[in-house]
Chains A and B, each alone.
Chain A
């Protein structure tokens, strides 16, 4: 029973400390917008989501993931998120697989052209 409690405590601590979200935003750009009903911090912005499990080989720093759907050709905001599930996957696979979850907002097309 004590071991079970200990495990639950460890899981709770791990889940709390492993979930976080980081956002980066250019200060002098205009995001692509859309009409949505969400109350998310990105509400009103057209965000795309990419969620994938990548192999350790892909995380050595030499590879790029290509973003093909920004018609303006540039990004305004990028959000990186980690979850407890992602951490669990990383631990269970002994670091071989990692979940990558990002959301990004493109710069509004034609926003600074004259």
Chain B
């Protein structure tokens, strides 16, 4: 059996201290590693069903959580929370395990238990000369947490994390038959004999799968995730300062046909690249809304075939020493800014060399090396809106105006671009979504500073008034109880998602797998 340590708790908080939130019980389950991998996995499933039963019997809510990187309260539940990162088994599949109609190669298909974090998946895949297709700006989230909230990164033509997920093992109740393997009927991945190892009921249904992909932690317990990896590759990164009008035109069009990023040429490169006219793998524009500079720092990352001696030729993307000397200074300045709100623009301009990326030499590394560990674990906020990329300049202008006129707010904007997701409630719902995000340090409401909630409300209203369709990243800060928000963002898909959830979960289990966040957005 897997074993669970249960603690009585009064409160719980996110990694970036966006709470605290009240809590009764905290479950922490550990695998029995003396068993075979299949036995250990199935023992964990039995234990999870037992914990769900306890919650159901007590008429309480239950919520699995991962690395608690979400800044919204999506991971929180006031009754019982379940800590999943110790559930980290990994399975490679063989040719004979693949479904006869599968479009996937067995060498690229892997099953990861819910508590695997992105970095450990990358390191494990590396042993097989494979890589994830994309992930977020860092690597500490669990795979189940990533897909539940729609973590997206900035891979323009790849999509978000959930877009390379091809199968889900869900636990939707207390009975053995509530252990389900769900995948698309149109693109099956695993055959029935292999799935039998996990003692699952098999459902092949495109709509149900697309609804469960970004399930907001409310489509049952995601116990396992089957994903498609690809051959290991390298990423070539460089930050360039380019004219603001050029950067915004690229954002609006994503047409790089006549654009040259002017990457410095490295004569030692075995295959010197020419990126003129090539759309980058990753494109990110940084904007300091308090400074109308003529140029903007833009991060370009291009994909390259893997070659082993890349570290001898290019700068290592992983720093030898990670320095975060400004953390205390920034916190002190924020305390000052709470007393003197008008100082925020000046402070941000003062700190711009620390908080905005500098033009630098190109670096090269694997995906997990380029998007390495996030070291800052202090109090942070982030508001992230998704708009169609053709609206990116307009939306940036609207959101910057709110920030400057109704603020100031201690943060800066960035824009990232991501291909459309098939997940029903993905924030990357447009053909190409521009995710406009303001990141910064938390502040306290004062005489001259509006609250984070009020700021978010004003940004939502401003986008509505300017007729810019938008979504909001589920894991970021927002005025989530804004009336009709989910319907405004996703239209009819909201009702469809609720119907599909009711197909997957009994009425009792819908209650168990709900939380205040789901109540606020009227999806429970």
Contact = CB atoms under 8 A, between A and B. Distances in A.
A110 interface: yes
A43 B372 CA distance: 17
B502 interface: no
B127 A114 contact: yes
Given A44-B377, A114-B127, A39 B117 contact: no
Contacts of B404: none
B67 A113 contact: no
A75 B437 CA distance: 36
Interface stretch (A6-14, A28-36, A55-63): A28-36
Contact of A39 (B26, B33, B119, B379): B379
A114 B124 contact: yes
Interface in A58-114: 108-114
Contacts of B31: 110
Contact of B68 (A29, A35, A39, A40): A35
B120 A108 contact: yes
Nearest to B86: A109
Interface string B346-384: 000000000000000000000000001001011100000
Does more than half of chain B's interface fall in helix, strand or loop, or is it mixed? loop
Nearest to A30: B120
B324 to A, nearest CB: 8
A41 B17 CA distance: 13
Does more than half of chain A's interface fall in helix, strand or loop, or is it mixed? loop
Most buried by A among B31, B123, B379: B123
Contacts of B127: 112, 114
A37 B90 contact: no
A30 B20 contact: no
Contacts of B90: 110, 113-114
B124 A113 contact: yes
Q: How large is the interface on B (under 10, 10 to 19, 20 to 34, 35 or more residues)?
A: 35 or more
A110 B89 contact: yes
A5 interface: no
Contact of A44 (B12, B15, B28, B65): B15
Contacts of A2: none
B318 A27 contact: yes
Nearest to A40: B377
B456 interface: no
Contact of A33 (B67, B124, B324, B379): B67
A30 B33 CA distance: 18
Contacts of B50: none
Interface in B1-55: 11-13, 15, 17, 20, 26, 28, 31, 33
Nearest to B13: A37
A73 B277 CA distance: 49
Given A30-B117, A37-B20, 7 more contacts: A27-B318, A28-B123, A37-B11, A37-B12, A109-B33, A111-B123, A114-B90
Interface of B: 11-13, 15, 17, 20, 26, 28, 31, 33, 65, 67-68, 83, 85-86, 88-92, 117, 119-120, 123-124, 127-128, 140, 318, 324, 372, 375, 377-379
CB-CB nearest 6 A-B residue pairs: A111-B120, A30-B120, A43-B377, A27-B318, A33-B85, A112-B123
18 contacts: A27-B318, A30-B123, A35-B83, A37-B13, A39-B17, A39-B377, A44-B15, A44-B68, A44-B377, A108-B120, A109-B88, A110-B31, A110-B88, A111-B124, A112-B124, A112-B127, A114-B90, A114-B91
